[in-house]
């Protein structure tokens, strides 16, 4: 069991990092927190949500993220959604200082939206940077788990394909394609991650600085594969925690052609030379004990 200690009720909460606060017991009692988090200065965490036509989802998603009450900021990168997603976020940003909107004029893809979000995160000094879909496939309740895991690993991933993880409401064909692509990626790219195309992640800022996302030109699932591949090959530690993934609310905003492109991306990466390892020793750890 993880090392924990009891913190007295008079604790100065401002000193607790967001991750430490999720371990707190209710109201004024003795509190149990992870001591290393308690000692750390408060970390800044940003959740990046790329959106295209997510008007029905984005308001409830932002409310759910803020109601976690763990000190998160949220950045929505919206590509001029015709359904008014951007306007909804702009209104929420007026009421909540934690909410930010980056509006781009037209649909430019999931990958470049993530890159724009990463640039914002690094410019504004965030320590932990999460990405998630707007569509509730990625349940906000896993966000604190991903942040906490990023205390001990450089990149944490909400995974459908580790024990305890699951996919709900996908047809057989989509399950098989996704499973197959991930098996292929794992073998061809020589990474030990089971869910290489998962978009529900928490990166430590140093990972983003090292992998240079702006130089990634691929989009969609290929972008997710390439960011993971660059991080793993650079020697950063990657951890997966099981999530139950539920098929999205509303239609997918990623074209089906992206699945085929992911295949050619795997081939390209398998044949290319990764960046030199920076400072860290590779440790790839699977976390099978996190709550689902």
Ligand X SMILES: Nc1nc2c(ncn2[C@@H]2O[C@H](COP(=O)(O)OP(=O)(O)O)[C@@H](O)[C@H]2O)c(=O)[nH]1
User: Is residue 195 a contact residue for Mg ion (CB under 5 A)?
Assistant: no
| Residue from 23, 79, 151, 240 in contact with ligand X (CB under 6 A) | 79
237 binds, among ligand X, Mg ion, none (CB under 5 to 8 A by kind): none
Question: How many Cα neighbours within 13 Å face the side chain of 210?
Answer: 23
Smaller CB separation from ligand X, 137 or 182? 137
CB 128 within 8 A of CB 20: no
Distances from the Cα of 36 to the Cαs of 5, 16, 19, 153, 227, in angstroms?
A: 10, 10, 10, 14, 28
Cβ at position 243, least distance to Mg ion in Å: 12
Using CB under 6 A as the binding criterion, the count of chain residues that bind ligand X stands at 20
**Which residue stretch of 122-130, 147-155, 230-238, 251-259 sits at the interface with ligand X (rule: CB under 6 A)?**
251-259
Alpha-carbon distance values, 156 to 82, 106, 198 (Å): 33, 30, 11
Any idea what DSSP says for residue 277? Answer: P
Residue in 239, 197, 209, 25 with CA at minimum distance from that of residue 111? 197
Q: What 8-state DSSP symbol labels residue 21?
A: H
State which residue, 17 or 85, has the beta carbon closest to Mg ion: 85
Tell me if 86 contacts ligand X by CB under 6 A. Answer: no
| Contacting residue, 157, 211, 248, 265, with Mg ion by CB under 5 A | 248
Q: How far is the CB of 125 from ligand X (least distance, A)?
A: 23
Q: Which residues bind ligand X (CB under 6 A)?
A: 50-52, 54, 77-79, 107-110, 113, 133-135, 137, 248, 252-254
């Amino acid at each position: 069991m993880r090392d924990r200690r009891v913190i007295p009720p008079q604790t100065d909460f401002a000193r607790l990092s967001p991750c430490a606060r999720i371990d707190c017991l209710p109201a004024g009692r003795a509190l149990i927190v992870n001591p290393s988090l308690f000692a750390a200065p408060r970390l800044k965490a940003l959740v990046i949500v790329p959106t295209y036509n997510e008007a029905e989802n984005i308001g409830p998603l932002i409310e759910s993220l803020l109601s976690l009450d763990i000190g998160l900021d949220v950045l929505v990168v919206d590509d001029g959604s015709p359904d008014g997603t951007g306007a909804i976020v702009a209104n929420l940003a007026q009421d909540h200082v934690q909410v930010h909107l980056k509006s781009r004029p037209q649909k430019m893809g999931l990958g470049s939206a993530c890159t724009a979000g990463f640039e914002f995160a690094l410019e504004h000094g965030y320590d932990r940077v999460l990405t998630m879909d707007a569509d509730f496939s990625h349940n906000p309740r896993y966000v604190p788990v991903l942040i906490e895991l990023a205390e001990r690993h450089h990149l944490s991933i909400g995974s459908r394909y580790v024990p305890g993880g699951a996919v709900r409401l996908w047809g057989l064909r989509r399950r098989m394609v996704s499973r197959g692509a991930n098996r292929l990626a794992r073998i061809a790219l020589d990474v030990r991650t089971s869910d290489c195309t998962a978009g529900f992640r928490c990166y430590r800022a140093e990972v983003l600085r090292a992998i240079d996302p702006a130089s990634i030109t691929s989009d969609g699932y290929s972008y997710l594969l390439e960011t993971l591949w660059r991080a793993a090959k650079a020697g950063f530690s990657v951890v997966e925690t099981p999530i139950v993934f539920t098929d999205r609310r509303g239609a997918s905003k990623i074209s089906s052609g992206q699945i085929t492109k992911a295949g050619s991306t795997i081939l390209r990466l398998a044949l290319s030379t990764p960046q030199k390892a920076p400072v860290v020793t590779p440790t790839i750890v699977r976390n099978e004990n996190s709550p689902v």
